[in-house]
A and B are shown apart, each in its own frame.
Chain A
């Protein structure tokens, strides 16, 4: 600490660059090693038969765990540093006075780039609605935010390539815009808890990202990586574990028979299964990867992922503070229906 104070600013800047290059090199090395180390380790050291199901399962689990953690750390760090230039306060200012329609589109887009954690969902909702942002526009923002975040984009890109990623982003934004617009049209303001509309915004809004030094932004990135990994590792291990079991042990035609491209109800079933499940993009993607390997259509899988990531029980419990049950039910219904719609659209486009 004292050392940094004594150093001249110029030398400090170079130290930062050197640390960045070092961290980048270590990341690339770790990613490479992860691709090479498991086969010799599992076959020679543990003596597993490379043709066995156990080997396939264990290799998938080890390789994917390290890979996802590395990708997640990199993406979360870069995204947090970039996002520190954006804030909910600025987003609200941009949305203030927008009409429905264009407002929904803008809100969905801003939902992707604005820093947001589900623990802020309620204060953000109150802050938006009390400042006069229309209900439907606010909901577009709240739907897009968990659905299409940069972590999902980064992971999809590295696991499935740009075509699937673009489709997912397009579909997620469509769901957020359409569902928000429909909910706005339904005139549901009477089912917003009254205290929200009565809240007076007295304090002067503080932009969390304003005037930070680059060191503070980097510290925020590192802090966010730690906090996210600490929060989601159980979901990550469960998701990768299920993926590994499916990868190694599921009969080849099990999933295709029930939810394959020939099945008319596949997307519907996937969404109905996904809504009560709670995970995040990092936890669900290894499962999606394994199911894709089993031959399930991409549209069905992306709809499943959206249902898991976009609608979750903990988030609904939080939103219950500001939305009355009828509005909450309509919210879930409209979002789920939109996801089913884009799922079928995907399957039609991709085949």
Chain B
């Protein structure tokens, strides 16, 4: 599973990364979590409100930090 966190390094971006890692750990999924901080790359995904979460090339979340529980559901859906 290829997981990308889109965001220029703001507080919410770090919060999303933490919650995503926690959700991945909870699911026992192995994934590469990569931070994308380049603005052109972020915009290239069609994301205008940071932070964003991209899994296997698909934007799942943009502009908010979901709870770990919601992320668990989203990631389980994307991985399964």
Contact = CB atoms under 8 A, between A and B. Distances in A.
Contact of B43 (A115, A130, A227): A130
A206 B57 CA distance: 13
A321 B8 CA distance: 12
Given A208-B63, A216-B70, A127 B46 contact: yes
A87 B49 contact: yes
Contact of A203 (B7, B8, B46): B46
A122 B46 contact: no
A205 B40 contact: no
A208 B40 contact: no
Interface stretch (A23-31, A54-62, A194-202, A326-334): A194-202
A127 B43 contact: yes
Given A126-B39, A203-B45, A231 B69 contact: no
B65 interface: yes
B43 A206 contact: no
Interface residues of A, number: 38
A123 B59 contact: no
Interface residues of B, number: 29
A190 to B, nearest CB: 19
B80 interface: no
For the residues of A in contact with B, the DSSP-based class is: helix
A122 B11 CA distance: 16
Contacts of A206: 46-47, 52, 59-62
A122 B39 contact: yes
Given A208-B62, A321-B39, A119 B50 contact: yes
Nearest to A118: B10
A195 B48 contact: no
Contacts of A199: 40, 43-44
B18 interface: no
Interface in A92-151: 92, 115-117, 119-120, 122-124, 126-128, 130
B48 A92 contact: yes
Interface in B44-80: 44-50, 52, 54, 59-67, 69-70
Contact of B49 (A115, A196, A201, A203): A115
A273 B23 CA distance: 48
A220 interface: yes
A120 B70 contact: no
Interface of B: 7-8, 10-12, 39-40, 42-50, 52, 54, 59-67, 69-70
Interface of A: 1, 87-89, 92, 115-117, 119-120, 122-124, 126-128, 130, 195-196, 199-206, 208-209, 216, 219-220, 223, 227, 230-231, 321-322
23 contacts: A1-B69, A87-B63, A88-B48, A92-B48, A119-B10, A122-B8, A124-B48, A126-B40, A195-B40, A199-B40, A199-B43, A199-B44, A203-B44, A203-B45, A203-B46, A204-B46, A205-B59, A206-B46, A206-B62, A209-B63, A216-B70, A219-B67, A223-B64
